[in-house]
Structure 1
Amino acid sequence: KRDASVPTPDGDWFYYVRFREAGQHPIFCRAPRSASDDTPAGEPLPDEQILLDGDTEAEGRSYFSLGTVNHSRDHRLLAFALDERGSEAYTLHVRDIETGEEIQPPITNTTGNLMWSADSATLFFTTLDDNHRPCKVWRLALGDAPDAAELVYSEPDPGFFVSVDTTQSDRFILINAHDHATSETRFIDSASPWEAPRLIAERVEGREYDVEDDGDDFVLLTNADGAEDFKLMRVPIATPSREHWHTIVEHVPGRLLLDHLEFADFRVRMERADALPRVVITDKRSGEDHAIRFDAEAYSLGVAPGYEHATHTLRFIYSAPNTPDETYDYDMTSRRRTLRKRRIVPSGFTPEAYVVKRLHATAGDGAEVPITLVHHVDTPIDGSAPCLLHGYGAYGISEAAAFASSRFSLIDRGFVHAIAHVRGGKECGYRWYANGKLEHKPNTFSDFIAVAEHLADAGYTHRGAIVPHGGSAGGMLVGAVLNQRPDLWGAAIADVPFVDVLNTMMDETLPLTPPEWPEWGNPRDDAQAFETIRSYCPYQNVSAQDYPPTLVIAGVSDPRVTYWEPAKWVAKLRAHKTDTNPLLLKTHMAAGHGGLPGRFTALEETALIYAFVLDALGRDHAAGAAGPAERAAAPIRGDQVY
Structure 2
Amino acid sequence: MNLITSSCLLLLRSVSRDIRRRNIHPLISRLHTETTAELPRAQLQKLRDQEQRFKRRLLSVHRKFAGVPENSEVSNFPGERHVYFEDGKGIYRSTIGQGEQEMLEVFNTDWTGGGYGTIQRVRLSPSETMLAVTVKKDHHEETRCVLVHLGDLVLRQKALLVLDNVFSFEWATDDVLLYSTQETLRCLRVFRLHLSDSGVRNTLVYEEKDPEFFVEVSRSRDQRLVTINCSSKISSEVWFVDSKTPLSSPTLIQARRPGLLYHVEHSDNYLFILANTTANQEYQLLRAPLASPSMSHWVPSFGAVPGTVIKDMELLQGHCVFTVKDSQGRLQIQTLSTQEPYQLNTHKLPHWACDVSPQRVGAVDRGSFGFLISSPVHPPVHYLYSPREQKLSVTEDNTKNMSLTEFNTTRLQAASQDGTMVPLTLLHTPALSELHKAPLLLHVYGAYGVDLSMAFCPEKRLLLEDGWALAYCHVRGGGERGLAWHQAGSVLQKRRGVEDLAACVQTLHRLGVSRPALTALAARSAGAVLAGALCNHNPQLLRAVILQAPFLDVLGTMQDPSLPLTVEERGEWGDPSIREHRDNIASYCPCHNIIPQLYPSMLITAYSEDRRVPLSGVVKYVERLKRAIQMCTTQVGANAVILDLQPGGDHFGPEDFHPSLNERAKQLAFLYTELGLDHPKTRRRLKVTGKSHKTQN
Match for residue 607 of structure 1?
Answer: 665
Displacement after TM superposition at 1:205 (Å): 0.7
Q: 1:342 aligns with which of 397, 403, 415?
A: 397
Match for residue 421 of structure 2?
Answer: 368
The TM-score normalised by the length of structure 2 is 0.81
Q: 2:408 aligns with which of 355, 361, 384?
A: 355
Is 1:262 aligned to residue 335 of structure 2? Answer: no
Q: Secondary structure at the match of 1:409?
A: helix
Q: 2:333 aligns with which of 272, 279, 296?
A: 279
Matched residues in 2 for 1:253 and 1:380: separation?
33
Match for residue 516 of structure 2?
Answer: 463
Superposition pairs of residues 506-517 of structure 1, within 5 angstroms? 506-517=559-570
Distance of aligned partners of 1:379 and 1:247 in 2 relative to their CA distance in 1, 3 Å threshold:
closer
The TM-score normalised by the length of structure 1 is 0.88
For structure 2, the residue ranges without an aligned partner over 5 or more in a row are: 1-62, 688-697
Displacement after TM superposition at 1:263 (Å): 2.0
Displacement after TM superposition at 1:134 (Å): 0.6
After TM superposition, the structure 1 stretch with the greater mean CA deviation from structure 2, 384-393 or 296-305, is 296-305
Displacement after TM superposition at 1:295 (Å): 4.4
Match for residue 597 of structure 2?
Answer: 545
Matched residues in 2 for 1:487 and 1:310: separation?
54
Displacement after TM superposition at 1:483 (Å): 0.8
Alignment check: 8 A CA contact 2:112 2:159 kept: no
Displacement after TM superposition at 1:227 (Å): 4.9
Q: Deviations over 1:355-395 (max 9, x none)?
A: 22111111111111111111223897252222110000111
Match for residue 653 of structure 2?
Answer: 595
Q: Looking at both structures, which has the greater relative contact order when contacts are Cα pairs under 8 Å and sequence separation is at least 6?
A: 2
Distance of aligned partners of 1:134 and 1:495 in 2 relative to their CA distance in 1, 3 Å threshold:
same
For structure 1, the residue ranges without an aligned partner over 5 or more in a row are: 20-24, 37-44, 630-642
Q: Deviations over 1:588-625 (max 9, x none)?
A: 21241111013443232111111111111121122653
Letter in 1 for 2:355: S
Match for residue 302 of structure 2?
Answer: 249
Match for residue 531 of structure 1?
Answer: 583
Is 1:560 aligned to residue 646 of structure 2? Answer: no
Is 1:292 aligned to residue 339 of structure 2? Answer: no
Letter in 2 for 1:106: V
Is 1:396 aligned to residue 449 of structure 2? Answer: yes
Superposition pairs of residues 316-327 of structure 1, within 5 angstroms? 316-327=371-382
Overall identity of the aligned pairs, in %: 27
Matched residues in 1 for 2:393 and 2:314: separation?
20
Matched residues in 2 for 1:186 and 1:553: separation?
40
Displacement after TM superposition at 1:193 (Å): 2.0
Distance of aligned partners of 1:78 and 1:184 in 2 relative to their CA distance in 1, 3 Å threshold:
same
Alignment check: 8 A CA contact 1:412 1:625 kept: yes
Matched residues in 1 for 2:397 and 2:113: separation?
31
Distance of aligned partners of 1:330 and 1:253 in 2 relative to their CA distance in 1, 3 Å threshold:
closer
Q: 2:180 aligns with which of 97, 103, 126?
A: 126
Q: 1:30 aligns with which of 93, 100, 120?
A: 93
Letter in 1 for 2:135: L
Q: Deviations over 1:311-358 (max 9, x none)?
A: 32221212234432100223221133443333459xx74422322211
Q: 2:157 aligns with which of 92, 98, 101?
A: 101
After TM superposition, the structure 1 stretch with the greater mean CA deviation from structure 2, 200-209 or 306-315, is 306-315
Q: Deviations over 1:522-577 (max 9, x none)?
A: 111x2111111100001111111111210111112322212222122112212222
Match for residue 28 of structure 2?
Answer: none
Match for residue 676 of structure 2?
Answer: 618
Letter in 1 for 2:175: A
RMSD after superposition = 2.7
Q: Secondary structure at the match of 1:83?
A: strand
Match for residue 224 of structure 2?
Answer: 171
Alignment check: 8 A CA contact 2:170 2:217 kept: yes
Matched residues in 2 for 1:224 and 1:574: separation?
49
After TM superposition, the structure 1 stretch with the greater mean CA deviation from structure 2, 460-469 or 410-419, is 410-419
Match for residue 11 of structure 1?
Answer: 80
Alignment check: 8 A CA contact 1:379 1:626 kept: no
Matched residues in 2 for 1:590 and 1:310: separation?
40
Matched residues in 2 for 1:464 and 1:176: separation?
47
Alignment check: 8 A CA contact 1:413 1:622 kept: no
Count of aligned pairs: 607
Match for residue 637 of structure 1?
Answer: none
Distance of aligned partners of 1:254 and 1:400 in 2 relative to their CA distance in 1, 3 Å threshold:
farther
Matched residues in 1 for 2:397 and 2:679: separation?
30
Match for residue 115 of structure 1?
Answer: 170
Alignment check: 8 A CA contact 2:442 2:471 kept: yes
Distance of aligned partners of 1:312 and 1:475 in 2 relative to their CA distance in 1, 3 Å threshold:
same
Displacement after TM superposition at 1:290 (Å): 1.3
Match for residue 542 of structure 2?
Answer: 489
Q: Secondary structure at the match of 1:607?
A: helix
Q: 2:470 aligns with which of 401, 414, 417?
A: 417
